[in-house]
Amino acid sequence: MRYNLHVELHTLLATLPKIGPSLSYRLKLLELFDIEDLLYHFPFRYDDFSQSLAISQVKVGESVTFLGEVWSIKNSYTRFHKVITRAILNDSTGTIELVWFNQPWLTKSIKTGDRLQVSGKVTRYGSKTSLVAPQWEKKAMEIDIPDSAANLHTGRLVPIYPETAGLTSKWLRRMIAQILPEMLPTVIDPLPEEVRGNLLPLPDALQQIHFPKTLEEAQKARDRLAFDELFFIQVSVQKRRRAWQDKKVFRALKVDQNKLASFIDKLPFELTGAQERVIREITDDLQKPHPMNRLLQGEVGSGKTVVAAALSYLVSLNGLRTIIMAPTEILAFQHLATFTKLLEPYGLSVGIYTGSRKSLQKTVAGKQKKTSSHNSQPITKPDIIIGTHALLSQKLQLDKVGLVVVDEQQRFGVEHRSILRTRAKSPHFLTMTATPIPRTVALTLYGDLDISVIDELPRGRQTVRTYFVPQRKREDAYKFIAKHVRNGEQVYIITPLIEQSETLASVKAATVEYERLKKEVFPQFRLGLLHGRMKSKEKEEVITKFKNQKIDILVSTSVVEVGVDVQSASIMVVEGAERFGLAQLHQLRGRVGRGKVQSYTFLFTGQENPFTVKRLKNLEKIHNGLKLAELDMQIRGSGEVFGLRQSGEWNLKIASLSDLSLIEKTRDSASKILKKDPNLDKHPQLAAKLTSGGKEVFPD
C-alpha cells in the first residue's frame, strides 16, 4: 500500500515511516539527509527495458521485458551454502527460467500463480535460456505506484542511481516515485524566465530525470539541471567579485620600484621571466584603491614562495605586515625558513603561529628578541606572520595587515578565507596553488579572482623521468633504488594510507610498509616514517633528519606533497598509485628533481588492469601539469579532481567543468542578470537559492 508522506522539501528522511536507524545511516553515506537531497539524487545511467517481447521471440544478448505467470519458484543450495533461486515464467508463447543468487526471501515475495513483469538481459545459464538477476515487479503493483512512474523497475527506461551497501536503486526508485507527485507542485523554479529560454521548467526536469519516457527526455532534463548548477555558481562568484571590488582597501600601497629591483638583484638565484611578469601584475594591483583578490598558480618548484617574499618586502616598506597561511605545519615551517633567509638581511622579522608553536620574533637593532603568546596577553607581532589554521584564533590580533597570502588555497574552505579577510580589515589578498587549473575551471570556480600563472620552471630544472612499474619488475626497481642510495641520493616512498585497513587490505599503509621495507628490503639503509597523525615535534624531527641526510629513505603519506624541499632527494616511489589523481601524482613527483642529478618517479600499483595502467602511463609521456589536470578531469570528473565533494563549496552532480560552451553561456547569463539587478532584489527566488537557512551558501 502507498502511504501518504505529507512531506516538505526539508523534511528529514530519518523521520519518514519505515526508515529506521540502519537505513538512515546508509542514506547519510550517500549524503541524503532530506527530501530535497533525494530529489536531487540523479541517475547516472538508465537500463533500457522498454522492449517488450514474447518469450518465444527471445535472443541471447538482448535486454528485454516479459509479462507472464509464475509456474514455479524454489530455492536450492550449493555445496558452499550459496542459495540459488529459480523460477519458471510462462507467457503462453513459451517459458523462460529466472535465476537469482543469495536472495532466499524471494520465495516468500513471489508465489506460484503471480503475474510478474520482469526485465533483464537474456543469457545462457547452464543449458537453459535464462534471465539472471532480473528486475521484477508484480503486475498488481501498478495500483500502488504513481501513474507517471508505472512499471518502476521493468518495461521502461529504468534509472540506476549511485548506491551503497544495503541501499539499492530499486529502493531509491520506489521512494522517489512516492515523493515526486506530492513534491513537484510545490517546487518553485528559481531560474528567471529571461534566462530559462527553451530549457525545461524545473518540475518537468525533475520528473524527466528520474522517470523519462525516452532518452531524449532524459537529455533535456540533464541540460536544464546542468545549466542550473553552473549558473548558480556563476551568479555567486560574480556577485562575490562585485562585492570585493566595492570594498576600500585598508591602505593603497606605494611600490618603490628601485628597492624592488634591488631586492630581486640580490636574490641568490635569477628569477624566471614568468616570475617577473607575475610580480608586475600583482604590484599593479597593490597600488589600486580596492583590495587585490588574485590567484597565483604555479607548479611545485616554480617559485611562488619567492614571489610572495618579494611582495611581503614591499608591504613592509609601507609600514604594514603580511600574514601567510599554510595548510600544514610542515609547509608553514618550510616557509618560515625561506622567508627568514630572504628577509632578515633587510631587518624584517618573521614569526610562526601554529597549533604546536606560537613563536613570534621582533627584530631590534639587528638582533632577535623572542616573545611568546599567552592567553591573557596580546601578542607582539612581527613583520611577517606565517601559520596554519591557528591564525584564525581570536587570540591573535590582526592589525596593520596589508597583505594576506593563503598557500594551497584549495585546502581551505571559503569560510576560512572570509574570516581572514574580515579580521584583517580588507587587506590585499593573494591565494596560491600548485594545482594546475584548466581554463574552464578558472572561468567557473575562480571567476571572482584575477589569475596569474607562473608557467616556467627555474633554469636548470631537469625533467623527472617517470615509469609505471609492473609487479614483476618491483625487485629490479628496489635494486635501482639501492644503487642510487649508495651514491648518496635520497628517496621518498609514498603510501595512500597511514595504517592497514581491513576493507582496503591490498592498499599499502605507511606504518606497515615502513616495517616491511626496513626489515626485508632495505635493512642496510636508514629509514624514516612520516604521516599526518604524528605530533608536530615528531614530524619536524623526521623532516630535519631527512634534510640533513640522516635518513636515506623516507616512508610517508602524501603529507609531503607540499612543504618538503630536499635537494638530494632524487627518487619518488608512489605505492597504490591508482588511488591518486594524475595531477596529485604530478605534484608528488615535483618533490624530486631539485638537485643536479637525474631524478625518477616509480609508480607501483596492486591493480594492473588495462584502464589503470593506461591512465598511469600518461605520466610517462606528459610532463605538463595543466594537460594532466585536464586529462584527470575527463577521466575522474571535476568533483574528484578539484575536491568539490570534500569542500562542500560546490556540489556538481550533472554539470561538467570541461563543458566550455555551457560555462560561457551560464557566465554570460549571470553577468546580464547582475548588471540589471546587482543585489537580486528583483529576483527573490534566485537570491533565496543562494542562501540556506538564512546563511549564505557562497559567502564573500
pLDDT in tens, 471-515: 999 999 999 999 999 999 999 999 987 654 444 444 578 888 899
Last residue of a domain, one of 622, 639, 669: 622
Q: Are residues 399 and 479 in the same domain?
A: no
Would residue 199 count as lying in a domain? Answer: no
User: Which residues lie below 8 Å from residue 688, measured CB to CB, with a gap of 6+?
Assistant: 190
Residue with cell 515464467: 89
Q: Identify the three-state secondary structure at position 355.
A: coil
Give the model's pLDDT for residue 395.
81
Q: Identify the three-state secondary structure at position 339.
A: helix
Give the model's pLDDT for residue 364.
36
Confidence of residue 689 (pLDDT cuts 50, 70, 90): confident
Q: Are residues 52 and 146 in the same domain?
A: yes
How far, in Å, CA of 696 to CA of 107, rounded?
52
Mean pLDDT of 211-229: 95
For 607-642, give the DSSP string.
Answer: ---HHHHHHHHHHHH---HHHHHHHHHHHH-HHHHT
Q: Are residues 126 and 269 in the same domain?
A: no
How far, in Å, CA of 203 to CA of 223, rounded?
14
Q: Are residues 310 and 422 in the same domain?
A: yes
Give the model's pLDDT for residue 653.
87
Q: Identify the three-state secondary structure at position 613.
A: helix
Its domain, for residue 502, covers: 465-622
How far, in Å, CA of 278 to CA of 273, rounded?
9
User: What pLDDT, in 10s, does the model give residues 274-298?
Assistant: 999 999 999 999 999 889 999 999 8
Q: Are residues 486 and 613 in the same domain?
A: yes
Q: Is the pLDDT of residue 147 over 60?
A: no
Confidence of residue 259 (pLDDT cuts 50, 70, 90): very high
Give the model's pLDDT for residue 691.
76
Q: Are residues 402 and 473 in the same domain?
A: no
Q: Are residues 664 and 602 in the same domain?
A: no
Residue with cell 613570534: 360
Confidence of residue 650 (pLDDT cuts 50, 70, 90): low
Confidence of residue 453 (pLDDT cuts 50, 70, 90): very high
User: Which residues lie below 8 Å from residue 541, measured CB to CB, with a gap of 6+?
Assistant: none
Give the model's pLDDT for residue 669.
95
Mean pLDDT of 113-133: 87
Number of Cβ within 10 Å of residue 664's Cβ equals 15
Q: Is the pLDDT of residue 143 over 70?
A: no
Would residue 330 count as lying in a domain? Answer: yes
Counting residues of the chain whose pLDDT is more than 90, the rounded percentage is: 45
Lowest mean pLDDT among 43-47, 377-381, 606-610: 377-381
Q: Which residues of 271-300 are buried (b: 16+ CB within 10 A; e: fewer)?
A: bbebbebbbeebbebbeeeebbbbbbbbbb
How far, in Å, CA of 2 to CA of 143, rounded?
9
Would residue 297 count as lying in a domain? Answer: no
Give the model's pLDDT for residue 3.
47
Last residue of a domain, one of 571, 605, 622: 622
How far, in Å, CA of 402 to CA of 89, rounded?
77
Mean pLDDT of 95-116: 90
Give the model's pLDDT for residue 561.
58
Would residue 494 count as lying in a domain? Answer: yes
Give the model's pLDDT for residue 645.
46
How far, in Å, CA of 328 to CA of 334, rounded?
10
Own/partner pairs for 509-518, CB < 8 Å, 24+ apart?
510/555, 510/556, 510/557, 513/555, 513/575, 514/555, 517/493, 517/553, 517/555
C-alpha radius of gyration, the chain, whole number? 30
Q: Is the pLDDT of residue 155 over 60?
A: yes
Q: Are residues 39 and 176 in the same domain?
A: yes
Lowest mean pLDDT among 187-191, 430-434, 482-486, 635-639: 635-639
Number of Cβ within 10 Å of residue 397's Cβ equals 11
Q: Is the pLDDT of residue 87 over 90?
A: yes
Higher pLDDT, residue 148 or 41: 41
Handedness of CA 53, 58, 59, 61 (dihedral sign): positive
Lowest mean pLDDT among 92-96, 226-230, 414-418, 573-577: 414-418
Q: Are residues 419 and 469 in the same domain?
A: no
Would residue 416 count as lying in a domain? Answer: yes
For 42-110, give the DSSP string.
Answer: --SEEEE---B--GGG--TT-EEEEEEEEEEEEEEE-TTS-EEEEEEEE-SS-EEEEEEES-TTHHHHS
Closest CA to 36 of 700, 504, 699, 693: 693
Would residue 294 count as lying in a domain? Answer: no
Mean pLDDT of 604-615: 88
Give the model's pLDDT for residue 414.
64
DSSP state at residue 301? T
Q: Are residues 344 and 210 in the same domain?
A: no
How far, in Å, CA of 71 to CA of 90, rounded?
7
CATH number at residue 345: 3.40.50.300
Cα–Cα–Cα angle for 106, 110, 114, rounded to 5 degrees: 165
Residue with cell 549524503: 31
Q: Is the pLDDT of residue 74 over 50?
A: yes
Q: Are residues 16 and 61 in the same domain?
A: no
Give the model's pLDDT for residue 171.
92
DSSP state at residue 509? B
Q: Are 555 and 514 in contact (CB under 8 A)?
A: yes
How far, in Å, CA of 323 to CA of 223, rounded?
44
88: left (phi over 0), alpha (psi -120 to 50) or beta: beta
Give the model's pLDDT for residue 145.
40
E-state strands within 448-537: 450-454, 465-468, 490-494, 527-530
Amino acid at 540: E
Q: Are residues 407 and 477 in the same domain?
A: no
Q: Are 599 and 593 in contact (CB under 8 A)?
A: yes
Q: What kind and span of H or E run contains 570?
A: strand 569-574
User: What pLDDT, in 10s, does the model give residues 336-384?
Assistant: 989 999 999 999 999 998 887 776 754 333 344 444 444 434 445 799 9
Confidence of residue 412 (pLDDT cuts 50, 70, 90): low
Give the model's pLDDT for residue 506.
46
pTM for the predicted model, two decimal places: 0.75
Higher pLDDT, residue 270 or 81: 270
Closest CA to 10 of 179, 168, 205: 179
Would residue 332 count as lying in a domain? Answer: yes
How far, in Å, CA of 547 to CA of 563, rounded?
12
User: What pLDDT, in 10s, does the model give residues 518-577?
Assistant: 999 999 999 999 988 888 888 888 988 998 999 999 999 887 755 567 888 999 999 999
Would residue 197 count as lying in a domain? Answer: no
Give the model's pLDDT for residue 184.
92
Q: Are 60 and 96 in contact (CB under 8 A)?
A: no
Q: What total number of domains does the chain contain?
A: 5
Counting residues of the chain whose pLDDT is more than 70, the rounded percentage is: 88
